């Protein structure tokens, strides 16, 4: 009886081990879920919290956990690919009133790529005001939207609020992001 029980336990243990190994292999073969080198801001904007886990998008040939750039910005992604786009992290924050604040960090591969993307009117159109966030940034006010583009290292960073009453808060947050180490 005891011998039978031991045998049953042994096989159960083996089965559990096999299931864990298969699960691990499946996880590995599902593709990269996270790129550690992707830049993530250390803290949320004042009064805001992350409304959902960060989303990660890669290219069609190297998609990340949430897919590729066309899943994220549809046809608008073509111009980013033209400038060497590698990946993007999408961060959505909300405050108590459910106001949204968005930060998208595009890894363009190199500083040069990030700069040429920043200079491309198909990404950063005309009609901006130049502001300083520690570096030169382009700020857009299309009522009621307010958003900013700037370059930090090889990243092109976009930050947006749907309520221009929070433009000051956004600028402060962007300044904080710029100071952080990638």
Partner 1 sequence: MICRTRRAFSLGPASRLFLAAAVALMICALAQGQPQPKSKVVTVRSPKVINSRNQVDLTEAKAMLAAGLEALTGKKEAKAAWAVLGLKPADVVGIKINCNNWTITLSPPAELLQALTDSLAAVVPANNIIVYEASIADLESSGFKRNSSTTGVRFMGCKEGAGFDDQERLSQIATSTCTKLINFASLKCVEQGLGASLFFKNHIGSLVEKDMPKCHGNMDFLASVLAKPSLKRKTILNICNGLRGTYKQGVPWYWGGIILGQDPVAAEWVGYQIINEKREQEKTAALPGLEYLKIAESKYGLGTCTPGHVDWVKIER
Q: Which positions lie near partner 1, rule CB under 8 A?
A: 60, 67-68, 70-79, 82, 121-123, 125, 127, 140, 142-145, 147, 158, 160, 162
Closer residue to partner 1 (CB): 37 or 145: 145
Nearest to 72 by CA among 126, 85, 153: 85
Cβ atoms of 58 and 70 within 8 Å: the answer is: no
Q: Could you tell me which residues come within 8 angstroms of residue 176 by beta carbon, excluding any fewer than 6 positions away?
A: 41, 43
Residues 101 and 85: their CA atoms lie apart, in Å, by 23
Closest approach, Cβ 72 to partner 1, in A, equals 7
Closest approach, Cβ 127 to partner 1, in A, equals 6
Residues 13 and 110: their CA atoms lie apart, in Å, by 49
Closest approach, Cβ 85 to partner 1, in A, equals 13
Backbone angles phi, psi at 57, to 5 degrees: -125, 140
Closest approach, Cβ 60 to partner 1, in A, equals 6
Closer residue to partner 1 (CB): 45 or 77: 77
Closer residue to partner 1 (CB): 148 or 177: 148
């Amino acid at each position: 009886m005891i011998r039978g029980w031991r045998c049953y336990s042994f096989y159960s243990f083996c089965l559990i081990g096999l299931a864990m190994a298969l699960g691990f292999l499946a996880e590995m073969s599902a593709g990269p879920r996270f790129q550690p080198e992707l830049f993530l801001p250390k803290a949320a904007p004042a009064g805001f919290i992350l409304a959902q886990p960060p989303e990660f998008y890669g290219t069609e040939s190297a998609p990340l956990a949430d897919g590729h750039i066309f899943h994220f910005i549809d046809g608008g992604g073509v111009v980013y690919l033209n400038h060497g786009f590698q990946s993007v992290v999408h961060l959505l924050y909300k405050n108590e009133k459910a106001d949204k604040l968005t930060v998208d960090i595009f890894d363009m591969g190199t500083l040069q790529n990030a700069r040429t993307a920043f200079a491309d009117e198909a990404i950063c159109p005309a009609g901006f005001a130049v502001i300083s966030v520690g570096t030169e940034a382009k700020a857009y006010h299309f009522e009621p939207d307010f958003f900013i583009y700037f370059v930090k290292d090889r990243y092109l960073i976009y930050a947006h609020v749907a309520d221009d009453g929070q433009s000051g808060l956004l600028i402060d947050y962007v300044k904080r992001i710029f100071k952080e180490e990638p």
